[in-house]
Structure 1
Amino acid sequence: MAAVTTLLDRWVAAARGAGASAAEPDLEAAGGYLLGRWSEPQRQYHDVTHLTAVLDVVDEYADLAAAPDRVRLAAWMHDAIYDPRALGDANERDSAEFAEGLLTTLGTPPQVAAEVARLVGLTAGHATGETDPDGELLCDADLAILAAEPDRYAAYTEAIRREYAHVPDEAFRAARAQVLVSLLELPAIYRHAPLHAAWEARARANLEKELRALAG
């Protein structure tokens, strides 16, 4: 229970830092609801462990963001709605809409709720503008797993396959390869300089190795 309490504390602190005016019990209830969503049975990778990992990166590199609490809220919201059977970027669109509605209900200023929703939407393609430090940090944190050591990266790919167990092997390989190619075609997987320097080469090596395995 301690881990859940810690996550709830982090949620409440981020919401307060971003201007939420709701009473403490309401904020805690919203955090508990979000944790329930992140714990849904269809999630094999996009779960509380992933949420925690993204939050940890955001916290570690918070000085790179213009408004770190907004990035933290976007981390909480970016896969709040997750259905492996959804088409295209429906999960990201639905999560962005959900984020704006929930944050507005919690008394967050409308411009903040809209900005968090915008950040959530960026995780559909992980493409950001040239002057978007908050979007860059969220996307860098979301993609941190790509630079994992081999054993952890393998566990990640296995979890992704389990999430898409309903997809036949051939169709999965084709769709997964398309995702990998789109990531490799980004000008940079990681946009913030310290993360790019630390992670870019290893992430590209992992993606290229997985792509070869899918083809072979």
Structure 2
Amino acid sequence: MSEALLDRWLDDVELLAPRAGRDLWLREGSLLLRGWGEAHRRYHTVEHLGEVLAALDELTGAGALDAREALLARTVGWFHDVHYDPRAAAGSNEHRSATMARDHLHALGVDDRLVDAVEAGVLMTAAHEPDPGAPHTRVLEAVHDADLWILSAPAHRYAAYRAQVREEYAHVPDDAFRAGRGRVLAGFARRERLYRTAHAHEAWTGRARSNLAGELAELGQQG
């Protein structure tokens, strides 16, 4: 998977930073994949990155994004969990990932306006609450939905995702984990609209609601 992802990165970064050159493109791609491949990760891995990019491809194919917006959304996807420490304080991972995005995109010579938009997209994933009045709203909404695609995954993948999250937070005692996980999932379950784009709302909501209800029931909570 990493080799295929590196090829995808090279395609994207050539559009983002055509003057940087292949050596810098490769260096930055290798850095990204090292981050996503850290040994302590269980869910926030290259598998998750690949799923986010695939979800963005699906949304682009459905007309949620034009080609320029899709490139910007994928760039957010590349960086949104490049730093991930399950022991970090809430929001810390997203802020550090956003800082890395800004630093490394600047090093590539990416336009400041695009860098600002990528930073905003990464930070949005902390709370998953896109600002409807913000610039690049369509990009933010697509990233929001792609990052939450996993909630709508087929049953076997959703079960694996649940196990991966628990392994990633193995340092948290069971009672505390169940309570925290329940709060997060219940927050999503209570949303009137879980997904922001029309395609995700229509195609993914049913499975997501079913997955959420099933897990919340096992946790002894209601959505």
Q: Which of the five TM-score ranges fits, normalised by the shorter chain?
A: over 0.9
1:209 paired residue among 203, 211, 214: 214
Shift of 1:151: 1.8
CA distance in 2, matches of 1:186, 1:102: 35
Query: What is residue 73 of structure 2 aligned with on the other side?
Result: 71
| TM-score using structure 2 length | 0.91
2:130 paired residue among 128, 131, 153: 128
Unpaired runs of at least 5, structure 2: none
Matched residue type, 1:121? L
CA distance in 1, matches of 2:109, 2:207: 42
1:176 paired residue among 181, 188, 193: 181
Query: What is residue 91 of structure 1 aligned with on the other side?
Result: 93
Unpaired runs of at least 5, structure 1: none
CA distance in 2, matches of 1:85, 1:20: 37
CA deviations over 1:129-181 (Å, ceiling 9, x no partner): 33611011111111111111222111110110000000000110111011112
Q: Give the paired residue count.
A: 214
Q: What percentage of residue pairs aligned between the two structures are identical?
A: 40
Shift of 1:209: 1.4
CA distance in 1, matches of 2:30, 2:9: 9
Shift of 1:9: 2.0
Shift of 1:187: 3.2
Query: What is residue 162 of structure 1 aligned with on the other side?
Result: 167
SS in structure 2 of the partner of residue 61 of structure 1: helix
Matches within 5 A, 1:129-148: 129-130=131-132, 132-148=137-153
Query: What is residue 58 of structure 1 aligned with on the other side?
Result: 56
SS in structure 2 of the partner of residue 179 of structure 1: helix
